[in-house]
Amino acid sequence: MARLHEYQGKRLLSDAGLATPRGGVARTPDEAQRIASDVGGRVVVKIQAWTTGRKAMGGVRFADTPQQARDLARDMLAMKVGNFPVEQVLIEECLDIAEELFVSLSINDRERQPMLLLAATGGSGIEQRAEQVRRVSCPVKTGPAETEIRSFLATTPIDRGLHDRLHASIRAVFEVARKHEARSVEINPLVTTKDGRVLAADCRMTIDDYAVFRHPDLGIEIARELDHPPTPLERIAYAAEQRDHRGTFYFAQLNTAAAPGTRGLVGFHGAGGGGSMMSMDALTAEKFTIANFTDTSGNPSASKVYRAARVILQQPGLCGYFGSGSGVASQEQIWSAYGLAKAFWELNLSIPAVIRLGGNSEDRAVDILQRACEGLPGIVEGYRKDDTPKAIAHRFAELVEASLKAGVEPWKPRRTRVPNYVGSGKSYDIAGGRVWINPSNDAATACRAAELSMKALKAEGAALLPAMEAEEFAKRDSELIACEVECRMAGLDALFVELDVDGM
Amino acid sequence: MSIIIDQNKNVIVQGITGREGQARTTLMLGYGTKVVAGCTPGKKGQDVLGVPVFDTVPEAQAHTRERHGGDVDISVILVPAKFVKGAAIEAIEAGVRTLVLVPDRVPVWDAMEIAACARQHGAQFVGPNTLGVISPGKAVVGMIGGKAESARAWFKPGNVGVISRSGGMSSSTAYYLGKAGIGTSTICHIGGDSVLGMRIPDVALMFQNDPETKAIVIFGEIGGSMEEDLAQLMVERRVTKPVVAYIGGKAAKEGTRFSHAGAIIEGGRGTHAGKVKALTEAGAVVVESFGDLPEATARVVGALR
């Protein structure tokens, strides 16, 4: 889920009519001082970080003067929470709290609708008091029933005169969740003050990854949960995924160095969530450190698999490349084989690779991958559905050991090799790149390339041309990648597919 | 018998003229599914592999009643994710009682709206983000198997029902069971999302009522409460057929997601240990390693004879 910071969530609440404390967000000590001075009086300074227990780590502190707020902000902006540096602090008025409520909305998988959790005492430690929590189902169209919220409020010690406003505030939480397609909203606490106000004193909100495209106003950069700020490679991978919706490409960096006692750092390329998790377990059992989690599945294009491989191989220090998914894939595995073969050739792969291509067309896929990679310095082996993750992880360990023994250096990211006519010959645009035609092609070469292009290209004498309108041709990137790999295996250098990997 | 799909069900495909629609219709027809019509707005009058295309589901429904003497039983939805809600509601309102929502990335509030609409009309759905459902030797809806000849080679008819939260692993589970000589009545991939039309307990109850199914195999995952809910049904004796289960994601950290939106531990709920404990205490056989699943199932099925 895409997480919002407290101040971002509070803005959405405030837009929906739920009051929040006066104040503002600061990125520098100067800003913090100015905001504190505008707010006036005693203020609270809070780090903006995705964590619980901010108070205990010194992330929530009080300042009596703007100068103090400035000093606190300076200290806090130097903090790091997990892998995330603190980039903003929120400065707000101090509240004279009378009563606190815990209000949380989440998606209930059993009821297939949102559910509100309400409890009479806010603050920390709410998880331990589950039995005191009132659960209110929220039909997706109509929201929580007013009677249920009011019957809950009646059990609290809060003055009845505030119940209308509290009901409206709780209702507003549902409205905000629905409007922004939140997966969860937690107001802990919703407070009443001694001067009779109702305010959200804190706010944690997550937005549904799959709905982020409908909410550009939220400014969410990468709609994926990670335990660190997005790395440059994760940004590149995310951008590649956004531009090609054929299949799925998921990428998360896990480690940049091999853990002590392991054989080395491995580039991992899974296919399908369930099978990927099992394959990673098999790698871990063979004492490898996994550099990244990658998943290309759901019938991905060859170019999507190619880009995934390029991103994985942008990581220095790898001792090998391991690909394995469910093993009995419904998708056509030849496209994955072509995408991998192209990336491995361009990078002149020097470390061992073991790829399990089990599923549809597995025999062809294994054959393509192995033959296309024959001339590479690194050994590339393909496997099928009857080869278990455990067995191929073991084989991979053997190859890595042999490679280390032979003195093969850990992987260093490098420039791709491209034929010399790239940039000068004739080219035609395709999705996310272009195909370059070798100007030295003779008629026989052009003719053979056209035969290998799955009808994407036609030969006219020595010329190799798109066999269809430009718009249709642009979608034949997978077929053209296949053609390039097949030509290379046939000893022909007829064309080259240049695929952009934005940001690399 | 079998559950959800067989060769006599009237199936339509919404989004039949698209890349995925055409590819999956090829599989379904090739495997023996009775695909009676397709829908793509603006493409009325065309045909895809001999299947007539209509603009709307009510038109496809009328055609099916006239030509096939009955209602549309199942609609397979293969439109882009953001259009799934509209397509699903159109089908439900046109009287289709079972939907299969294949696309990935359907927004969760859309899924909840579809669920509300389905509840109101007495309809049910598989997915979103499902590979589909196959009753080996009979028919398939969705894309499980990919190609008809692969589906025929991989999945053997038999008496074990398979329910999986992972698409690829539903095929793998059934394939490895088949290699061990265990056939399957129906294989259901319920989908990888957090809000699903049919959850593990719903499908388990269908298998419980299916005379052909003698045992149930589950590929579960961390996250959510489906496995725990199945355990509760077993405790209540509403599911009495033997259950063999594997739960994936043992090594996953809390709060980190590995592909499936539903496979995430939130607030300490939905852990691997919690699911294994609930199922084991309810009497299920829970295997530690996926590779042990066929043998454990063979023992359970053997004991029934």
Sign of CA dihedral B234, B235, B240, B244: positive
ipTM of the complex: 0.92
Distance CA B152, CA A426 (A): 46
Chain A residues in contact with B179 (beta carbon < 8 A): 386
Percentage of chain B beyond pLDDT 70 is: 93
pLDDT for A224 equals 73
pLDDT tens across A435-485, in order? 999 999 999 999 999 999 999 999 999 999 999 999 999 999 999 999 999
In this prediction, residues B150-169 reach a mean pLDDT of 95
pLDDT tens across B22-48, in order? 999 999 999 999 999 999 999 999 999
Chain A residues in contact with B249 (beta carbon < 8 A): 277
pLDDT tens across B114-149, in order? 999 999 999 999 999 999 999 999 999 999 999 999
Chain B residues in contact with A252 (beta carbon < 8 A): 256
Please name which of A178, A145, A149, A175 lies closest in space to residue A162, comparing C-alpha atoms. Answer: A149
Residue B194, min C-alpha distance to chain A (Å): 6
Distance CA A83, CA B195 (A): 31
Chain A residues in contact with B260 (beta carbon < 8 A): 273-274
Residue B260 is a catalytic residue: yes
Beta carbons of B199 and A388 less than 8 Å apart: no
Distance CA A317, CA A255 (A): 11
Q: DSSP state, A435?
A: E
What is the SS3 assignment for A122-169? CCCCHHHHHHHCEEEECCCCCCCCHHHHHHHHHCCCCCHHHHHHHHHH
Percentage of chain A beyond pLDDT 90 is: 82
> Residue A367, by phi and psi: left (phi above 0), alpha (psi -120 to 50) or beta?
alpha
Count of pairs with CB atoms under 8 A, one residue in A, one in B: 168
pLDDT band at residue B265 using 50, 70 and 90 as cut-offs = low
**Mind giving me the DSSP string for B263-284?**
---BTTBS-HHHHHHHHHHTT-
Average pLDDT, chain B: 93
Q: DSSP state, A407?
A: T
- Among A227-236, B178-187, B261-270, which is the least confidently predicted range? B261-270
pLDDT for B259 equals 52
Listed in sequence order, the residues at least 6 apart from A11 whose beta carbon sits closer than 8 Å to its beta carbon are none
pLDDT above 70: residue B264? no
pLDDT above 80: residue A191? yes
According to the per-residue pLDDT averaged within each range, which of A230-239, A297-306, B2-11 is highest?
B2-11
**Residue type at B231 in one-letter notation:** A
Cis before B128 (ω within 30): yes
Mutate to test the interface with A, among B20, B104, B257, B287 (most CBs of A within 10 A): B257
pLDDT above 70: residue B2? yes
Mutate to test the interface with B, among A209, A227, A277, A394 (most CBs of B within 10 A): A277
pLDDT tens across B41-78, in order? 999 999 999 999 999 999 999 999 999 999 999 999 99
pLDDT band at residue A229 using 50, 70 and 90 as cut-offs = confident
Beta carbons of A274 and B199 less than 8 Å apart: no
pLDDT above 70: residue B257? no
Q: Give me the residues paired with residue A134 across strands.
A: A118
Cis before A29 (ω within 30): no
pLDDT for B242 equals 97
In this prediction, residues A378-404 reach a mean pLDDT of 96
pLDDT band at residue B233 using 50, 70 and 90 as cut-offs = very high
pLDDT above 90: residue A2? no
Helix/strand/coil for B218: strand
pLDDT for B260 equals 57
Distance CA A342, CA A435 (A): 14
Chain A residues in contact with B229 (beta carbon < 8 A): 110
Sign of CA dihedral B136, B196, B274, B250: positive
Mutate to test the interface with B, among A112, A126, A188, A388 (most CBs of B within 10 A): A112
The phi, psi pair for A367, rounded to 5°, reads: -65, -45
Beta carbons of B169 and A224 less than 8 Å apart: no
Residue A42, min C-alpha distance to chain B (Å): 34
The phi, psi pair for A264, rounded to 5°, reads: 160, 180
Domains detected in chain B = 1-130 (3.40.50.720), 155-305 (3.40.50.261)
pLDDT band at residue B266 using 50, 70 and 90 as cut-offs = low
Beta carbons of B107 and A181 less than 8 Å apart: yes
- Among A242-246, A327-331, B66-70, B106-110, which is the least confidently predicted range? A242-246
pLDDT for A222 equals 76
pLDDT band at residue A122 using 50, 70 and 90 as cut-offs = low
pLDDT for B305 equals 66
Give the rounded distance of the alpha carbon of B209 from its chain centre.
Answer: 17
Distance CA B272, CA A394 (A): 26
Distance CA A38, CA A24 (A): 10
Among chain B residues, CA nearest to A285: B251
Residues found in chain B: 305
Beta carbons of A139 and B291 less than 8 Å apart: no
Please name which of A236, A228, A271 lies closest in space to residue A80, comparing C-alpha atoms. Answer: A228
**Mind giving me the DSSP string for A242-305?**
HH--SSEEEEEE--SSPPTTSS-EEEEEEESHHHHHHHHHHHHHTT-EE-EEEEEESS--HHHH
Per-position b or e across B155-167, b if 16+ CB within 10 A of its CB: bbebbbbbbbbbb
pLDDT above 90: residue A127? no
Residue A438, min C-alpha distance to chain B (Å): 31
Alpha-helix residue ranges (DSSP H) falling in chain B? 19-31, 57-68, 84-93, 108-121, 148-154, 167-179, 200-208, 226-235, 272-281, 293-304
Distance CA B26, CA B228 (A): 38
Higher-scoring residue by pLDDT: A3, B42? B42
Give the rounded distance of the alpha carbon of A409 from its chain centre.
Answer: 30
Average pLDDT, chain A: 93
Give the rounded distance of the alpha carbon of B6 from its chain centre.
Answer: 13
Give the rounded distance of the alpha carbon of A120 from its chain centre.
Answer: 37
Among chain A residues, CA nearest to B179: A386
Q: Which two tokens stand for residue B55?
A: 């603009």
pLDDT for A347 equals 98
pLDDT band at residue A206 using 50, 70 and 90 as cut-offs = very high
Among chain B residues, CA nearest to A326: B168
pLDDT tens across A237-270, in order? 999 988 887 888 999 998 999 999 999 999 999 9
Strands A495-499, B10-14: pairing kind: unpaired
